[in-house]
Amino acid sequence: RGENLQTQAANCVPNGMPGIMRLPYPLEFVYSPGRVNILIETYSQVRRIYVDGRALPEDPDPFFNGHSVGRWEGDTLVVDTVGISPMVSILPGLHATPTTRFQERITRVAPDRLVDEITITDPALFAEPYVMVQNYTLQPDWEMREYVCQENNRDGADEQGRPSMDLGDPFAGLDD
């Protein structure tokens, strides 16, 4: 028997931060007073970054995407995020702890390109900050699509994480 290498995504559990910002599906940045919303096609997620001057919560409830506050430094959106759910795998094999923190620097480096530099700090997991960089290319002709994981989930896992392939006909019984 081989080891089950599926992540919780096989059970339609969202990736959470930082993985949600690194998937190969569209993102849409929507600016409103006091907030930047990132609409994420994957799992139909909305990430809210508050830019209204509030502080990060001191004892946040854990969320998949955490609690994010930001500020503008020139053309760069600097975002601090805390309160990541321990269900989130921040890197393969490493789950968020109460001390996991992200700082992002999201910069438009060209008319059609954004760069998101994500620095992860967590003294329980890392001896020094871990940095990852994600590049985004503007695709003005793309449309966000509905993403319902369960609708086409054929590679699920049971509650113990074991693969449970279901290749049944999704249209069976619809002619009745």
Rg (CA), the chain: 18
Read off the pLDDT of residues 33-49 as tens digits, 9 standing for 90 and up: 999 999 999 888 899 99
* pLDDT for residue 172 is more than 90: no
pLDDT, averaged across the chain: 86
Read off the pLDDT of residues 97-155 as tens digits, 9 standing for 90 and up: 999 999 999 999 999 999 999 999 999 999 999 999 999 999 989 888 887 776 655 55
Residue 59 near residue 87 (C-beta atoms within 8 A)? no
Locate tokens 């997620």: which residue? 45
pLDDT (0 to 100) of residue 43? 82
Got the DSSP string for 104-149?
Answer: EEEEEEETTEEEEEEEEE-TTT-SS-EEEEEEEE--TT-------G
pTM of the model: 0.81
Read off the pLDDT of residues 78-88 as tens digits, 9 standing for 90 and up: 999 999 999 99
